[in-house]
Structure 1
Amino acid sequence: MHILMIEDDLDLGLALQRALKAAGLSSEWLRSIAAAAEPFDTRPYDCVLLDLTLPDGTGMDLLRRWRRNGMAVPVIVITAKALLEDRLAGLDEGADDFIVKPFATAELVARVRAVLRRHAKQASNVWTLGELEIEPRKFEARLNGTRLDLSPREFHLILELAREPGAVVPKCELSQRLEPLGDPVDFGAIEVHVSNLRRKIGAGRIQTVRGIGYLLAV
């Protein structure tokens, strides 16, 4: 797998390249929007790591232009902005995932692998998991064609579980992924949201792996 990384921070860029190489992923590192003007015409990439704050513009503008031109490669946004509004704006523009600075390189590699797995299985804007359908860019989920009435936290929780259907997502990882939506999410709160989701989509669809986390059955 070949990763394009657009990040102007020298120390972070070097650390990310080392982490990707250790995980068996090759990468190309660019440090400006100008350098990434037309990167997909000459060499294919499987995923892009995109910083939002670059010396010659914003990564969001670059992402918007890519999606407008039909570029379908998955993009993980790297940002210091943890507000819900920033995440929603990025998702609306076509980001596949967000990771907020500072972060562990191991988490980033895990996010890359998850996005690549999801992209391989979900080529359209609608994620189909049996009778359950999720449209991340519309913040909608449907069961048997009927739209589910989900709170923002419930939607993001089921979205995180759906990124890796059939795989166990640890509670600690869910807590980290949901934290940018507001105050840190403790395990008790996650249990409450899971309970609410089960009432809405069926108790058997979200399974508990005792002492570890949850999985979305497919």
Structure 2
Amino acid sequence: MVGVTELLAGRDHVFVGFDGVVCTVFDAAGARTAADRLKPLVGAALPDDVAATGDPFAVLSYAASCGPNTADAVHRQLARLELEALVVAGPVPGSVELIGELAWRGFTVTAVGNQSVDAVRSHLSLHDLQYDVKRISARASGDPALLLPGTALVDAAVRGVGASPGQCVLIGGTPPELQAARAAGIATIALASAEPLTAPPDIVVTDLAELRLAG
């Protein structure tokens, strides 16, 4: 397997998965609470799977099937819930140091995630990362087709830095982040987690510290 040094060599742009590498927005209990707070916006007569879900993005996906107005309402409320959660959600250990080092070494760092643009920007500012993370590619509407594991956000990140996929690498901590990058033709580094990875990454690390000073 290729090493970190070799993978980063010749690449200029690093995408970091927001919910997995930069921070964890919701734990399991928080995600269920968020999903339950979104469901009344969709209606009382929900399909059984939607009524039972603890995934706020499953509620958003169902809301989109109810029409753009409903999807927009759920998207906006989810953004507020994300902002609330990020007030207390600290960075993933080592993420602040890694991002600072990547920026110092000349990589263009882009945060990529399904969370709202405002939530991502708020977290970066709260932890003084707004200058090291040059771009954000995140949720701007209630359209689930534009979210991970689809490639839209990753494709937008590539266009945003004016590069080709081969000039980029994504560091991801969740399966949707890694799956989207692989589908877009981007090299991937996975921060190992309890979740099974359906898209095999190029490199797996157990700690973000393993990526510091590499290359």
Same fold by TM (over 0.5)? no
Which structure would you say has the larger RCO, counting Cα contacts within 8 Å and 6 or more residues apart? 2
Question: Could you state the TM-score of these two structures normalised by the residue count of structure 1?
Answer: 0.29
Question: Could you state the TM-score of these two structures normalised by the residue count of structure 2?
Answer: 0.30
More strand by share: 1
More helix by share: 2
